[in-house]
Amino acid sequence: MSSIEQLADQYGLFLCVECGKCVAVCPMGEIYTHVSYEASPRGIIERILLDPGIPEDDSLWFCLTCDLCTDLCPAGVRFRDFVEAIRQVAMKTGITEYSSFCDSCGTYLYPQHILEYLKQALGEPAEKLLTLCTRCRRYHFGIKLKAQMPGKRKVGSPKVQIGNSR
Ligand code: SF4
Ligand code: SF4
């Protein structure tokens, strides 16, 4: 049994009864304008069961990992967990072009498709924050904050007033 077949077995893909409930509830169609059936949970399950390998295209990298499909699946398929696991395997085998990583420490953040969607939804000011992991974001914010601490402020920096003055 290949490692992908093992994952398919572990997350119940062989139990799928092809009812299509996961596709009906999946929010990917509302988020992306270009998502195809091949990237839907049922489409991916069919493909993996027919040909248990890592797809070389970007179909694995659209899922938002919301887990709604798992909640509604009558057969107990854990598609979200499967996608997260196979993405890790894909990255370990060198498929990294569909992922985004922290600009500062290189930690995996989320798929490129999700990053592009977030950039569009949140606008340019959020771009810098979106490409930092939470740890590095806090660290960078801490550095900026430290620079504002008494004794660290540049001459001429404005003073900040906190609380009511009487
Ligand atoms: S809801 Fe479950 S059983 Fe139905 S198609 Fe999706 S994965 Fe298969
Ligand atoms: S976990 Fe992924 S496949 Fe399942 S409903 Fe959410 S976006 Fe769709």
SS (H, E, C) 77-110: CCHHHHHHHHHHHHHHCCCCCCEEECCCCCCEEE
pLDDT bracket for residue 157 (50, 70, 90): low
Q: What pLDDT score was predicted for residue 164?
A: 58
Which of 97, 115, 134 is the last residue in one of the domains?
Answer: 97
Which of 97, 113, 136 is the last residue in one of the domains?
Answer: 97
Examine the pLDDT at 155 and tell me if it is beyond 90: no
- Angle made by CA atoms 114, 92, 83, in degrees to the nearest 5: 45
Number of domains comprising the chain: 2
Ligand nearest to the CA of 76: 1
Question: Which tokens sit at 94?
Answer: 């060198």
How high does pLDDT run on average in the chain?
89
Q: Any idea what the CATH number is for the domain that residue 80 is in?
A: 1.10.1060.10
Same domain, 7 and 78: yes
Same domain, 106 and 39: no
Give dist(CA 143, CA 139) in Å, integer: 6
Give dist(CA 111, CA 91) in Å, integer: 11
Q: Which atom of ligand 1 is nearest to the CA of 21?
A: 1
pLDDT bracket for residue 150 (50, 70, 90): confident
User: 110: domain range?
Assistant: 98-152
Give dist(CA 154, CA 37) in Å, integer: 56
**Does residue 89 belong to any structural domain of this protein?**
yes
pLDDT digits (tens, 9 = 90+) for 114-149: 999 999 999 877 888 899 999 998 887 777 777 877
Nearest CA owner, ligand 2 atom 4: 69
Same domain, 86 and 144: no
Same domain, 55 and 105: no
Ligand 2 in contact with 23 (CB < 6 A)? no
pLDDT digits (tens, 9 = 90+) for 71-100: 999 999 999 999 999 999 999 999 999 999
